[in-house]
Amino acid sequence: MSLSPTTMPFDTIDGLELHADVYAPPRAADTGVLVWLHGGALSLGHRSAVPSFVLDAAEAHGFLVVSPDYRLAPHVGLEAILRDVHTAVSWTRQHATARGHDAARLMIAGESAGGYLSLATATSSDACAVVSFYGYGTLDSPWYLEPYEHYRHAHPLITESEAFAVVGTDVTTDGRDPSDRYKFYLYCRQAGRWPELTAGFDRVAERDCLRASSPAYAISGAHPPALLIHGAIDSDVPVAESIAYAALLDLHRVDHELMVLEGVDHGFVGPPGPVPPPPPEAIAPALERAESFMNVHLGPR
């Protein structure tokens, strides 16, 4: 991999400058652009976490990659985060055109929460295609609304004061210290408070808002072609999320593909996390399929 990023500002909101890392391939003739959205439960992560296979594919096939900031919870809610993503996509189209790329061929992709954001913005952003790695289509399902026993047993219980101590008081786009900031997410899942503290909606009184922000309920025949990739034993986001999303795409006759990887847990294309990485051979077919999908939609014509 030889692509390295150029960091550029794309917006300023409430005094905070938002940046995008732009990875430009050696050639740009009639190729598209990929917007990569990092994961981290909307409260962790950073734009620098672009998987190496994505950059290798961009270098091989000539498409542009843009990985933008978005503000992180809990100091902003989901509406602000989605606003930042839409702004980044609009800026990317302008920047891609200026560089000689075909901005009409814009794909959105991401992992985990980035997969959710990709699905949530793909249709409204008029994307040509979308890729979700272990993302989710609903925000009002029990796995996010109720205390999660897996995290209550697999990790020490985090108190509310401990959770808020690690996220500070300032709005930020940089959540790259999972050893500390991860405690906030653990608390949200252990207590069943993710919708309230991260999305910014009361799980009971504002469940309609959670549903309105859930892309699974908005699927129509206008949905762009989709590739959904999920581990069969995902301990964080249930594989049922991708299975259900694929079923709805099928009902609406949307071109799509679902790959369920046997024996694979969460986070296999993201930065190192609490889940041990799977053996390379377990995920190689999915990465190869994702590269092929990107080339079909973004590569030279």
Residue 178 has pLDDT above 70, yes or no: no
Structural domain of 256: 6-139+214-298
Please check whether residue 172 lies inside any domain of the structure. Answer: no
Chain segment 181-229, per-residue pLDDT in tens: 999 999 999 999 999 999 999 988 999 999 999 999 999 999 999 999 9
Classify residue 13 as left (phi > 0), alpha (psi -120 to 50) or beta.
beta
Please check whether residue 181 lies inside any domain of the structure. Answer: no
Residue 271 has pLDDT above 80, yes or no: yes
Please check whether residue 127 lies inside any domain of the structure. Answer: yes
Give 2's pLDDT tier (boundaries 50, 70, 90). Answer: confident
Q: Which two tokens stand for residue 33?
A: 């652009």
Residue 297 has pLDDT above 70, yes or no: yes
pTM: 0.97
Please check whether residue 29 lies inside any domain of the structure. Answer: yes
- What amino acid occupies position 32? G
The domain that holds 10 is classified in CATH as 3.40.50.1820
CA atoms within 13 A on the CB side of 166: 21
Give the pLDDT of residue 179: 65
CA gap 241, 120 in Å, rounded: 14
> Going by DSSP bridges, is the β-strand pair 64-68/33-37 parallel, antiparallel, or unpaired?
parallel
Please check whether residue 194 lies inside any domain of the structure. Answer: no
Overall domain count for the chain: 1
Chain segment 56-109, per-residue pLDDT in tens: 999 999 999 999 999 999 999 999 999 999 999 999 999 999 999 999 999 999
Q: Which of helix, strand or coil describes residue 143?
A: helix
Please check whether residue 204 lies inside any domain of the structure. Answer: no
Chain segment 115-167, per-residue pLDDT in tens: 999 999 998 999 999 999 999 999 999 999 999 999 999 999 999 999 999 99
Please check whether residue 119 lies inside any domain of the structure. Answer: yes
Give 301's pLDDT tier (boundaries 50, 70, 90). Answer: confident
Please check whether residue 193 lies inside any domain of the structure. Answer: no
